[in-house]
Structure 1
């Protein structure tokens, strides 16, 4: 069974761009890194993407391998493959969690999402996202609230699970 990221956390970012990965997230990164053994640091890939993406998406090694396999299945030379390679291979940053449970976010990534002294981490199943807290509240949380507000008061979103196709 694949471990999933769960929860949301506010984390401090120091002047060098170091930020602690929540402990529960570190366990998922360890489980999702085939090379991980006790005493080593789990690896991950941070996809920062194009100018429209206002957050950093962090993938376990298993999750990014799944994305890579799907990209590799596309016809070589196709525009779709070229664009996905650019977004997931070119606009990404491989890194590892240090012995204190932190990663270093380079200035380029911090500047892209306008991150300063605080970061908001939110789980997204087999990935997690790092946001500037204000951006998350004004854009993503507002979008969720708007979606919920458009539903009837007694609506249960779990009904969508019955519509999911089994793989």
Structure 2
């Protein structure tokens, strides 16, 4: 099983759009890039998506290859395949980590999510997200808190995995 992204952190963004990637995230990017060797910079793909997406989703090469394989199984010419190709292939930015462990985010991507001086990194398993910190607090934290507030007081999130194939085996 591939390594997973874990944790969250906040980092400064300079005027050229450079932002440090958390060190643990860099290790996962290295492990998820089949072409990576010591001394090279790991590659990744940033999916920025449609107008409703207010964050950048960063995929290891292995993770985006899995998405591409699933899209390729859809019937050629189908609306679903064309839309997914547009969202994941067209509205994406292949890049690599620089020598100092940073990403250089183009102005178009920074403007899309309102990223200025700070970037918030959130691990999401086989991907990680980059958010404007204020947007994350206002949108995602509020969504998570509202969802948790709808659960019983003794709610244990692990109970959601009880019906998942392979869980608890």
Give me the TM-score of the superposition, normalised by structure 1. 0.98
Describe the SS at the equivalent of 1:25: helix
Structure 2: runs of 5+ lacking an equivalent: none
Per-residue deviation, 1:166: 3.2
Which 4+ runs in 1 deviate beyond 6 A?
A: none
Distance in 2, Cα, partners of 1:163 & 1:133: 34
- Which residue number corresponds to residue 45 of structure 2? 45
Distance in 1, Cα, partners of 2:109 & 2:23: 22
Distance in 2, Cα, partners of 1:129 & 1:149: 24
Distance in 2, Cα, partners of 1:98 & 1:121: 17
- Which residue number corresponds to residue 161 of structure 1? 161
Structure 1: runs of 5+ lacking an equivalent: none
Deviation per residue, 1:56-96 (Å, 9 max, x gap): 00000000000000111111000000000000000000000
Distance in 1, Cα, partners of 2:132 & 2:76: 36
Give me the TM-score of the superposition, normalised by structure 2. 0.97
Q: How many residues in Structure 1 have an aligned counterpart in Structure 2?
A: 167
Distance in 2, Cα, partners of 1:104 & 1:140: 24
- Which residue number corresponds to residue 100 of structure 1? 100
- Which residue number corresponds to residue 67 of structure 2? 67
Distance in 2, Cα, partners of 1:139 & 1:155: 23
RMSD: 0.9
Q: Does 1:29 align with 2:29?
A: yes
Distance in 1, Cα, partners of 2:48 & 2:40: 25
- Which residue number corresponds to residue 56 of structure 2? 56
Distance in 2, Cα, partners of 1:28 & 1:132: 22
Distance in 1, Cα, partners of 2:34 & 2:3: 13
Distance in 2, Cα, partners of 1:138 & 1:165: 34
- Which residue number corresponds to residue 13 of structure 1? 13
Distance in 2, Cα, partners of 1:124 & 1:97: 19
Describe the SS at the equivalent of 2:93: strand
- The 5 Å alignment of 1:66-145 reads 66-145=66-145
